[in-house]
C-alpha cells in the first residue's frame, strides 16, 4: 500500500469519525450513519490494500528462491 493510499484511507476514516461525533452531538442519525459508512469504506479499502501487499510479499519471496 502506498503512503498516499494509507493517508487517504486514514483521512476518510477520521472524517467519518468526525461526522459520527457531530451526528451524535446533534442527534442527527443520518449524519451519524454517513460517518459510520465512511469509516467502513475506509476500513474495507485498507483491508484490500493489505491483501495486495501480502500477495506481493509472497510473490517476492518466491522470486528470491
Mean pLDDT computed over every residue of the chain:
90
Write down the pTM of the prediction: 0.77
Mean pLDDT computed over 33-62: 89
Mind listing the pLDDT tens digit for each residue in 37-51? Answer: 999 999 999 998 888
In our burial notation (b when 16+ CB lie closer than 10 A, e otherwise), range 16-45 reads beebbeebeeeeeeebbebbeebbeebeeb
| Integer Cα distance of 41 and 15 in angstroms | 12
More confident: 65 or 53: 53
Does pLDDT of 56 surpass 70?
yes
Looking at residue 49, its pLDDT comes to 86
Amino acid at each position: 500500500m502506498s503512503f498516499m493510499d494509507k493517508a487517504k484511507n486514514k483521512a476518510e476514516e477520521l472524517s467519518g469519525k468526525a461526522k459520527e461525533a457531530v451526528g451524535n452531538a446533534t442527534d442527527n442519525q443520518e449524519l451519524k450513519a454517513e460517518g459510520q459508512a465512511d469509516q467502513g469504506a475506509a476500513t474495507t479499502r485498507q483491508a484490500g490494500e493489505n491483501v495486495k501487499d501480502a500477495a506481493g510479499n509472497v510473490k517476492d519471496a518466491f522470486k528470491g528462491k
